[in-house]
Amino acid sequence: MIKVEGLTKRYARTVAVDNISFEVEKGQIVGFLGPNGAGKTTTMRMLTCFLPPSEGKANVAGFDVVEHPMEVKRRIGYLPETPPVYPEMAVDEYLDFVGRLKGISNADIKRRVDDSVAKCALGDVREKLIGKLSKGYRQRVGLAQAIIHNPDVLILDEPTSGLDPKQIIEIRDLLRSLAGDHTIILSTHILPEVEQSCERVIIITQGRVVAMDTVANLTNRMRGSEAIAVEIESGAGNPTVSEAQQRLEQISGVSRVLAKEPKDGRLRFEIESLQGRQIRADLARAVVNAGWNLSELASVGSSLEDIFLQLTASEQKSALPAAPAEPETPAEVQPQ
Amino acid sequence: MKNIFLIAGKELKSYFASPIAYLLMAAFGLIFGFTFYVATRDMIRLSMQSQMMGQQQPMNVNDSIIRPLLGFAGTITLFLVPMITMRLIAEEKRTGTIELLLTSPVKDNEIILGKWLGAMLLFLCILGMSLINIAILFLWGKPDLQPVLVAYLGLILQGGCLLAIGEFISTTTRNQIIAGGVTFFVCLLLYLLNWFTAFDNGVVSQVVGYLSIVTHLDNFSKGLLSIKDVIFYFSMIFFALFLTSRSMESLRWRS
């Protein structure tokens, strides 16, 4: 449904998105995970034809974003970071306007508005001015706006930001009910969020994709597997790098052996176990049985976990001061 | 086409959802009514004076009231336009709703024309306030209708031209105050350009004078409908809207 190849966005001095590629199948929910400034929003803006890419291709719902933007726009629903609502309009009126803007015919418009009001639980406030609504309701109006024309692809930039826990659960349920018919990409910086609502995760940081996998695989790798650093003395009677690597790979329970730069006359490897397997004893035995000198065997955190830690750590720092920056009711309509 | 009207309708509703539309209409109605009162009073005095002195100078309602008044309305337009256009796109950029418009299946030009049309409709509503006074003249006097219509056409064309310029300036910033201020000074400059030609008739002066919106409005308020002036306004509107569309496109590359 979505196919991205080598997508790059360059600004005068910075590269916001650097050569990313991924694919999303129809009906999937995919999470974009990354710290602030990682390029999530820029990527989404390119997918929605808001920004043209500097390089690379993006194909959304069967159409190229540069060559056929109109066709793409017809088939996407987009919720930007701040919901694009007009505070001086009532919810009903706003959805009617957006619906028509998205090309819904006069005959269908009422039904579609009712439908998205119902789906986003906006029944109580549909006649209120959007400017008078709380942040959570405004977010839901933004979501209602994105789904009103029943698009093939939904692109949601932090759909749960600013919501209370109950509302977050409601939005999650809503997203899950929408998946299947719709392909959904949502960005977030909250790890549990991804675990709960997404099937696949794309982790990006500094404009690059650093990991891309199903949630199950990622969490398994994070929780069940361990990474172990092994150092073996080289020299007489000891193996070459490739010999040692081959030997280590044969041990049952090992999923991956990474040879690192030898140091101080020692061969160094980083070994990842399969999920839930304890391989340290087997490793030690294998090395000793081969007659080599084992000089070190230590557990290291998995690289994936490092990424997550790095992400969540930088997130916590930036999330706190960012929160009060969005007042409950910003002054939109200033008397001029 | 449908989208243009959709956006224009939304713009007009937004104007009337905030005090701005009522404020501008009231202010214009008040100022126009005041000048109307003064002009009518003076004309009545003058005609009575000339009658008493035995001069049989026919006083013409068109020449002594309608023409100066509608000419003055053209000047008030300079103040109205920035207040109408300042929010057009700057506001959308500030609140992020521009992302909604630009990711909807609507062409940039439809957005631009729709917004311009919405501003035009508000401008017509404001200008409509002056009809109250003009109607009084038609009820109790016998002014010629045709020059009045031509003068209104001139005002509408001038308004359209300045609104298009204002819309262009509104795309260049997300700050409404800046958009409004710059628009005002640009309008003022276009208005003052004909001073350049007051005592000089060189080629440069003629070109500069041609660009002044006042030169063309003068003809209209005299009741002269010349194709040259109509073309001037239409080409200015087209040019300003063209700049707007370029500027909108550059939004995508820069933002």
More confident position, B208 or B5: B5
Interface check A98 vs B, CB under 8 A? yes
Specify the higher pLDDT residue, A305 or B64.
B64
| Structure tokens given for A301 | 């955190």
How much is the pLDDT for B192?
A: 86
Which DSSP category does A296 fall into? Answer: E
Q: Using a CB-CB distance cutoff of 8 angstroms, which residues of chain A are in contact with residue B14? A: 86, 88-89
Q: Which pLDDT band, with edges at 50, 70 and 90, does A162 fall under?
A: confident
| Average pLDDT along chain B | 89
- Is A76 close to B23, i.e. CB distance below 8 A? no
pLDDT of residue A288: 84
Query: How close, in Å, is residue A24 to chain B by CA atoms?
Result: 20
% of chain B beyond a pLDDT of 70 = 97
Model confidence band, residue A276 (pLDDT cutoffs 50, 70, 90) = low
* Model confidence band, residue B224 (pLDDT cutoffs 50, 70, 90): confident
| Contact flag B13-A78 (C-beta cutoff 8 Å) | no
Mean pLDDT across chain A: 81
- A105: contact with B, CB 8 A cutoff: no
Chain A: give the shortest CA distance to residue B80, in Å: 11
Average pLDDT over residues A122-146: 91
pLDDT at residue A282, rounded to an integer: 84
Least confident of A281-285, B17-21, B98-102, B236-240: A281-285
Interface test with A, best of B22, B95, B104, B107 (most A CBs within 10 A): B104
Least CB–CB distance from A52: residue in B20, B95, B253:
B253
Q: Which tokens in the block code for residue B120?
A: 């035009």
Q: Say whether pLDDT at B4 is over 50.
A: yes
Best residue in A11, A79, A100, A101 to probe B by mutation, most B CBs within 10 Å? A101
pLDDT at B215: 81
Confidence of residue B46 (pLDDT cuts 50, 70, 90): confident
Which range among A154-163, B84-93, B118-127 shows the weakest confidence by mean pLDDT? Answer: A154-163
Q: What does the pLDDT look like over B78-90, one tens digit per residue? A: 999 999 999 999 9
What residues in A contact B7, CB-CB < 8 Å?
Answer: 101
- CA of B90, closest CA in chain A: separation in Å? 12
How do residues B56-82 score in pLDDT, each as one tens digit? 666 677 778 888 888 889 889 999 999
What pLDDT, on a 0 to 100 scale, did the predictor assign at position B38? 92
CA distances from A161 to A79, A141, A167, A187 (A): 12, 14, 10, 10
Residues of B with CB under 8 A from a CB of A: 2-3, 6-7, 10, 13-14, 17-20, 23, 83, 86-87, 95-107, 176, 180, 252-253, 255
Answer yes or no: is pLDDT of A303 > 70.
no
Whether the pLDDT of residue B26 is over 90: the answer is yes
Enter the pTM of the model: 0.80
Q: Between A254 and B54, whose confidence is greater?
A: A254
Query: Per mean pLDDT, which of A121-135, A321-335, B201-215 is the most reliable?
Result: A121-135
Set of chain B residues whose Cβ sits within 8 Å of the Cβ of A86: 10, 14, 95, 97
pLDDT score, position A322: 37
Q: Which of B249, B240, B251 is nearest to B116 (CA)?
A: B240
- Amino acid, single-letter form, for residue A248: L
What string of H, E and C letters represents the secondary structure of A182-249?
A: EEEEEEECCHHHHHHHCCEEEEEECCEEEEEEEHHHHHHHHHCCCEEEEEEECCCCCCCHHHHHHHHH
pLDDT at position B241, please?
A: 96
Chain B interface includes A44 (CB < 8 A): no
Pick from A167, A50, A65: nearest CA to A120: A167
Instruction: Please say if the pLDDT value at position A86 is more than 90.
Output: yes
Task: Give the tens place of pLDDT for each residue, A167-219.
Answer: 888 888 888 888 778 899 988 877 777 777 788 888 888 888 877 878 777 66
Helix (H) or strand (E) segment spanning residue A17: strand A15-24
**One-letter amino acid for residue A310 of the chain:** Q
pLDDT interval class at A310 (50, 70, 90): low
Query: Which helix (H) or strand (E) segment is A7 a member of?
Result: strand A2-10
Distance from CA of A248 to the nearest CA of B (A): 52
pLDDT tens track for B153-195? 999 999 999 999 999 999 999 999 999 999 999 999 988 887 7
- What percent of chain A shows pLDDT beyond 90? 30
Is residue B162 a contact partner of residue B240, using CB atoms and an 8 Å limit? no
- Considering Cα of B242, then B248, then B253, then B255, what sign does the dihedral take? positive
**Å from B3 to nearest chain A CA?**
7
Mutation target to probe the A interface, by most A beta carbons within 10 A, among B4, B85, B100, B175 is B100
- To the nearest whole percent, how much of chain A has pLDDT over 70? 85
Is residue B77 classed as helix, strand or coil in its secondary structure?
helix
pLDDT of residue A336: 38
Three-state secondary structure readout of A121-155: CCHHHCCCEHHHCCHHHHHHHHHHHHHCCCCCEEE
Lowest mean pLDDT among A31-45, A260-274, B161-175: A260-274
Sign of CA dihedral B111, B112, B117, B120: positive
Half-sphere exposure of A191 (CA within 13 A, CB side): 15
